[in-house]
Structure 1
Amino acid sequence: MDVKKDILWRVYLCLIGMALFGVAILVKVFYIQQVKGNYWRSMADSLHTSYVALDAERGTIFSEEGRMLSTSIPYFDIRIDFAADGLRDKKGKVFEENLDSLSLCLANTFNDRTKNEYKTLLREGYKSKDRYFLLKRDVPFNQYQALRSFPMFRLGKNKGGMIAEPKSKRINPFKLLANRTIGLARENSQSVGLERTYNEYLKGVTGKRLMRRIAGGTYVPVDGYDIEPENGRDIVTTLDVNMQDIVESALYKMMVANEAEHGTCILMEVKTGKIKAIANLGRQPDGSYWEDMNYALQVGEPGSTFKLATVITVLEDKYATMNTMVNMENGRWQVGRRTVFDSEPHPGPQLVTIKHAFELSSNVGMAKLAYQYYGRQPNNFVNHLKKLRLDQSTGIDLVGEGKPVIKTTASKTWSNTTLPWMAFGYEVLVSPLQTCMLYNAVANNGKMMKPYLVNSIQEFGQVVKKFEPTVLIDSICSQSTLKQVQAMLEGVMIDGTGKKLRTPYYSIAAKTGTALVANGNRGYADKIYQSSFAGYFPAKDPQYTCVVVIKNKPHALRFYGASIAGPVFREVADKLYAMAVEKQKPMQATLQLDTLLALKNGRSNEWKEILTTLRLPVGATPANNSWVSAKVADKKINLNTVAQEKGAVPDVTGMGLKDALYLLENAGLRVVIKGAGKVKTQSLPGGTKIGNEQTIVIELS
């Protein structure tokens, strides 16, 4: 008995222990599911979900007159959720009923598969219950719009299963025009041009999308967990598309005709420093030309266009006047063991005025001036060059501007021949844009302007940051010196190297340049010449400064600045002058309102439809039938009611013509219209009591 009781006691003890263990498990399960359930579920989700970046829509780059120079085009990756409730419901009734018609529509739209091939593809996806089935990549917007109306897809995401993943592709609508200056926004390599400089404004703020991992390692978006991106802002440049086309075309024709290696042409507005056009063409391996580098920013030996700095220095120190005599020595002058040569022969008297030596582009004349007046104190000459900012970059709003080199006596490569060679543009390194800035200062009565490329940064058509002209030097020299160098530049086109480029219709002030450039280790043996032409027009009332620099091929038959770079300058000047005459107004660029970017007043229901369609952020919204004005505030478009009192003149300022006419004519007013665009002013102020048969004049701009 004692043994039996002992055994039973042990069995009962085991049973009780097992029961307690089972109860403990049940309690733990309850605790995990009910008490800590949310915590562990969130932990599970965190292990199977992750956020992916949603790129913001990149801002658009516009020309000054409102044309798109660089913009983003939407593309879509189209996927199908074959596990969507609507597709699986009632044994796939929706899928089966729409399969034939959907396959036919896809085949007709994309033309890459037959109807039966699409039918097989869709059926395989349906059988696999793939929640993220890839149907088509890089679908353009017009095809995406068509897809939304296709059978099955038009039922929506839950019933039709279509998932559209938007992305964008950057394009330059005008392709070659100012391509390098506008730049490229590239994902896997460094951006260039304005796209790079103003990237912080253009790129916007990246958003987030929560993605959940499903079978096969595929991720699908989780609805309701998106953080919307903030779209980038727009850039309005100083570039003018028509002027850019003129500059690009003129440069291109000469490059092709002379098989040149590369070239640049810069057009700057004299009074402001705005770059109106900038062309950069380089010869490609196949013989074609493309905007492959911004040659306007690259430094090199400028040649004879640098002589302007030399004569400004000599005249400003009052060592001489433009009528002081200098001997050109028959175009050959020995300095130590080196010889200065003139690039062109100069028949006739060799003792000429400094003005005429400049007009004939005599290297000997300029070298002798520098050597005579600054030979004992060469740094005085260098200091003048520094005062002209030739030792500094221009500061233009582009990344990659070259650093100029102006030697001093402390430089390692300084020699007894450095000074005379600097006088005619050798042993110094400056960029074409620096040359343009100097000549523009002479055209602008001595005031040196900083070159710039962007007028403003805009958000929803409203200016958020405006860039104004910047004065770098109030006066580069005295008025006496300025008048003399202006006369010398005009003389180049009358009695000098540019006289064959004269025109009877307007005057030009300019300087030609022809420089022999080194070809790497081969030195000067290949006879590669750089042709340049720098000046402004019209000389008596300068509107534009233009600089053309072309590097020719080795042993080119034509290479003088007047015969290569000069014709490009002349063609640009002729066409701009013709445009000004046609408009019957002074030769100057006119700022025009870009109505595509303007926010006009109108009906609130029309505004709401626009904002919804374009998915723009909306703030305050009044009643549907009210007239509203649209304003941007806190990165949202707010619609504010515009009061229209009965029996009084409506306030139509800021409205488009259609809406303005509707309100004014319904109020019993006769309307006279001037201009185009949106209403700028009205002759009868809003709120004025209306009399009998009154007339109102509205001016649009």
Structure 2
Amino acid sequence: MEVKKDILWRVYLCFIGMGLFGVAILAKIFMLQNVEGNYWRSMADSLHTRYVSLEADRGTIYSEEGRMLSTSIPYFNLRVDFAADGLKANNGKIFKENIDSLSICLSNLFQDRTPREYKTLLKEAYKHKDRYFLLKRDVQFVQYQAVRNFPMFRLGKNKGGLIAETKNKRINPFKLLANRTIGLSRENAQNVGLERTYDNYLKGVTGKRLMRRIAGGTFVPVEGYDIEPENGRDIITTIDVNMQDIAETALMNMMVSNEAETGTCILMEVKTGKIKAIANLGRQPDGSYWEDMNYALRVGEPGSTFKLATVIAAIEDRYVTMNDQVNLNEGRLQIGKRTVFDSEPHPGQTNVSIKHAFELSSNVGMAQLAMKCYQKKPNDFVAHLRKLKLDKTTGIDLVGEGSPVIKSTKSRTWSATSLPWMSFGYEVLISPMQTCMLYNAVANNGVMMKPYLVNAIMEYGQPVRDFDPEIVMDSICSQNTLRQVKAMLEGVVTNGTAKSLWSPYYKIAGKTGTALVANGKDGYSKKIYQSSFAGYFPANDPQFTCVVVIRNKPNAVKFYGGAVAGPVFREVADKLYAIAVEKQRPMRAAIAIDTLLAFKNGQGRDWKTILNTLNLPTQGALGNSNWVSPRVDDKKIAFTTVKQIKGGVPDVTGMGLKDALYLLENAGMRVIVKGAGKVTSQSLPGGSILGKNQTIVIELS
């Protein structure tokens, strides 16, 4: 008996232990499923799902008159879900019935495979039930539209399996025209130009799409979990396409004929500071020209166009007037161990007026003037240059503007010859844009304007930010000084180095420049000259300031500013004078509703709120309680009433999911939703007899 009891006790103990172990397992299962379930499910999802970015449509850059300068066009990667419900149904009946005709259509459209090769490719993918099969990359929009109507694919995503991934490609419709200024938007490199400066506005907000990993490591989209991207805003520039074309053509003609290395032509509107055109050309290894750099913003020794700053300083500081005399010394002057040369000798000419020395572009005359006025106080001359803002960038809305250099006696490279050499544009570094801003101030009766390239930032046709003309200085000098320097600039064209630019139809004022420039380690030995002309027209009522700077090839036969840069200025001025009276309206005056906007049907009161908030143009009456369908009609939004029959199935086609569910569920219907976006179809037609507890399937796209 004792042995039996001992055995039973042990058996009972084992049963109790097994029971407790089972209870512990059940308790753990309960904890995992009900207490810790959400945590572990999220952990599992994180291993099998991921978010991918949905690219927002980048905003468009327009010219002032409304022409596209840079825009995005859609391209598509076409994929096929061979495990779609429609392709699995009835033992693949849809696939088997359509594969031959589909293969022929694909072959005829893309012409990269024979129908037999396409058929083999599709059958192999179908055999493996590939859920994300890549059919074709970089398909154009027109081709995509055709593919959507092909056999099998025309049945839609769920039945035909077609999946389209959209991506945008940036293009400049006018190609070379203002290419560097407008800029480039590049995926794997830094943007340049306006594309870079206003990138935060143009790029929009990136969306997200939830992707789930399936067999084979492929990821497919999870429906209903997209975060839609917010499209970028549009930019309205100050660029005028016709003026840009004129400037670019004139510059190109001279660059090609003279085989020049680089060149820029800037056109600024006098009263506002708007940049109407900015052409930049660089010679490529094959001899062609392209907008490879923004030479308008690169600093360098300006040469004789800088003499305007010298005479403004001397006259404004009341050391001289334009009629005072200066010694040309027949075009040659020894200063210390260096010699100042004029581009042409002046035999027999010694004492001439400062005005005539300026008209002849005499380096000797400017050096004599600077030493006479500022030799004892050279920093006074430097201070005046800084007062003219020549030591600061213009602040134009382009990234990459070079930093100017205006030396002073504290500079490490200052020497006894710095002052005279600075007076005629050497030993200083400024950009053509700075030169343009200075000459424009003279043309604008002394008011210095900040140059700018963007008029407005737009969203859905409405301005969200405007850019107005900005005054940098109310007056760069006195009216007395201004009258004298204007007379000197006009004298250059009537009686100086730019006599070839004289026009019988309108007055031109400006200054030529010819500078010997250094070429890296070779220094000045290559005899590379920079030709320039800066001026404005018509001189009696200035409308435009134009600056042309061209860097010539080594040992060029033609290199004087009046012979190289001057003709470019004259060609631009002649053509603009002919069309300047036809003032083009800014784009904002002609803004209309975009016919490509995606509209959704909704309640009248909701649409009223939208219209009032965005200030959109409309036509026709709009009630508060009725359901309406919007459309664009004659550049305005018009509405059609969507009738909802009492006791019938609500018509929710064209509505967003929120409104559709509101109507259908209030009608007592059970709703099954497929897709995302707005309702494209409903399984029970609107207005049909409404049954009790009916189920309706709505597809969104």
TM-score strictly above 0.5: yes
Is 2:604 the partner of 1:622? Answer: yes
Q: What is the SS of the residue equivalent to 1:556?
A: coil
Structure 2 SS opposite 1:365: helix
SS of residue paired to 1:212: strand
Secondary structure in 2 matching 1:415: coil
**Alpha carbons 1:620, 1:638 under 8 Å: kept:** no
Give the % identical residues.
Answer: 72
**Aligned-partner Cα distance in 1 for 2:304–2:185:** 38
Match of 1:598 among 576, 592, 608: 592
Partner Cα separation in structure 2 for residue 410 and residue 35 of structure 1: 76
Letter aligned with residue 517 of structure 1: V
Alpha-carbon shift at residue 4 of structure 1 (Å) = 4.5
> Judging changes above 3 Å, is the alpha-carbon distance between structure 1 residues 2 and 120 closer, same or farther for their aligned structure 2 residues?
same
In 1, Cα distance between the equivalents of 2:635 and 2:62? 24
CA separation of 1:35 and 1:424: change in aligned 2, threshold 3 A: closer
Structure 2 CA distance for aligned equivalents of residues 23 and 502 of structure 1: 106
CA distance in structure 1 between the aligned counterparts of 2:585 and 2:423, rounded to whole angstroms:
39
- Is the CA contact (8 Å cut-off) linking 1:458 and 1:465 kept in structure 2? yes
**In structure 1, the residue corresponding to 2:414 is in which secondary structure?**
coil
Q: Are the equivalent residues in 2 in contact too, given 1:207–1:226 (CA < 8 A)?
A: yes
Write the distance in 2 (CA, Å) between the matches of 1:632 and 1:505.
52
Amino acid at match of 2:143: Q
Within a 5 Å distance, the mapping from 1:150-549 to structure 2 comes to: 150-347=150-347, 349-549=349-549
Letter in 2 for 1:76: F
Structure 2 unaligned blocks of 5 or more: 624-631, 639-701
Distance 1:644 1:112, change over 3 A: closer
Deviation at residue 46 of structure 1 after TM alignment: 2.2
| In structure 2, C-alpha distance between the alignment counterparts of 1:160 and 1:133, rounded to whole Å | 13
- Residues 590, 420 of structure 1: CA spacing in aligned structure 2 closer, same or farther, 3 A cutoff? farther
Query: Which string of whole-angstrom CA distances, capped at 9 and with x for unpartnered residues, describes residues 267-326 of structure 1?
Result: 000000000000011111111111111100000000000000111111111211111111
Q: Which amino acid in structure 2 is aligned with residue 598 of structure 1?
A: A
Q: Is the 8 A contact 1:405 1:428 kept in 2?
A: yes
C-alpha distance 640-398 of structure 1, shift in aligned 2 (>3 A): same
For 1:13-60, what per-residue CA distance to the aligned partner results, in whole angstroms no more than 9, with x for missing partners? Answer: 434543553454345445544665444333321221111121211111
Q: Deviations over 1:480-531 (max 9, x none)?
A: 1101111111111111000012111111001000000111121111100000
Amino acid in structure 2 at the alignment position of 1:449? M
* Alpha-carbon distance in 1 for matches of 2:375, 2:33: 94
Q: Structure 2: how far apart are the matches of 1:197 and 1:434?
A: 19
Question: CA 1:180–1:639 in structure 2 vs 1: closer, same or farther (change >3 Å)?
Answer: closer
* Residues 217/447 of structure 1: CA separation in 2 closer, same or farther (3 Å cut): same
- Inter-CA distance 641–41: structure 2 relative to 1 (3 Å threshold): farther
Q: Distance in 2 between matches of 1:655 and 1:153?
A: 32
- Give distance in 1, aligned partners of 2:404 and 2:154: 62
* Structure 1: gaps of 5 or more residues: 601-609, 646-653, 661-701
Asked if the contact 1:620–1:639 (Cα under 8 Å) also holds between the matched residues in 2, the reply is no
Q: Cα distance 1:312–1:658, how it changes in 2: closer, same or farther (>3 A)?
A: closer
Q: What is the CA–CA distance in structure 2 between the aligned matches of 1:529 and 1:11, rounded to whole Å?
A: 110
1:387 Cα deviation from its structure 2 partner: 0.8
The answer for the alignment partner of 2:688 in structure 1 is none
Mapped to 2, the partners of 1:228 and 1:655 lie a distance apart of: 27
Change (3 A) 1:80 1:258: same
Separation in 2, partners of 1:461, 1:208: 26
Residues 621 and 639, structure 1, Cα contact 8 Å, conserved in 2: no
Counterpart amino acid of residue 390 in structure 1: L
CA distance in structure 2 between the aligned counterparts of 1:12 and 1:658, rounded to whole angstroms: 88
Structure 2: distance between partners of 1:156 and 1:592: 40
Q: Distance in 2 between matches of 1:249 and 1:260?
A: 15
C-alpha distance in 1, partners of 2:341/2:63? 45
Alpha carbons of structure 1 residues 629 and 290: separation in structure 2 relative to 1, 3 Å: farther
Contact 1:460 1:632 in 2 (8 A): no
Distance 2:199 2:67 in 1: 20
Residues of 1 paired with 2:121 and 2:633: CA distance? 53
Paired amino acid for 2:598 = R
SS at match of 2:235: strand
Aligned mates of 1:133, 1:267 — CA distance in 2: 53
Change (3 A) 1:51 1:500: same
Answer whether contact 2:617 2:637 (CA < 8 A) is retained.
Answer: no
Amino acid at match of 1:181: T
Distance 1:196 1:437 in 2: 23
Q: 1:658 to 1:469 in 2, by over 3 A?
A: closer
Aligned partner of 2:326: which letter?
V
CA, structure 1 residues 590+358, in 2 after alignment: closer, same or farther (shift >3 Å)?
Answer: farther
Q: Which residue of 2 aligns with 1:136?
A: 136
Shift of residue 193, structure 1, vs aligned partner: 0.6
- Residues 241-285 of structure 1 show CA distances to partners (whole Å, capped at 9, x for unaligned) of 110011011111111111111010000000000000000111111
Give the Cα–Cα distance (whole angstroms) in 2 for the partners of residues 90 and 594 of structure 1. Answer: 59
What is the rounded CA distance, in whole Å, between the counterparts of 1:516 and 1:341 in structure 2?
12
Describe the superposition over 1:118-155 as per-residue Cα deviations: whole angstroms up to 9, x where unpaired.
11111111111111111111111111111111111111
- What is the CA-CA distance between 1:615 and the residue it aligns to? 3.2
Q: Which amino acid aligns with 1:393?
A: T
Q: What RMSD over aligned residues (CA atoms) do the two structures have, in Å?
A: 2.5
* CA–CA separation in structure 2 for the residues paired with 1:536 and 1:36: 78
After superposition, the Cα gap between the structure-2 partners of 1:658 and 1:461, relative to the gap in structure 1 and judged at 3 Å, is closer
For residues 300-353 of structure 1, the C-alpha deviation after alignment (integer angstroms, 9 at most, x for no partner) is 000000000111111111211111111211100111111110012335533211
**For 1:655-674, what aligned pairs fall within 5 Å after superposition?**
656=634
1:172, 1:78 → 2: CA distance? Answer: 25
Give 1:22-37 correspondences, 5 Å limit: 22=22, 24-26=24-26, 28-29=28-29, 32-33=32-33, 36-37=36-37
Q: Would you say the 8 A contact 1:405–1:430 is kept in 2? A: yes
Number of residue pairs matched by the alignment: 630
- Taking the aligned partners of 2:259 and 2:201, their CA distance within structure 1 comes to 40
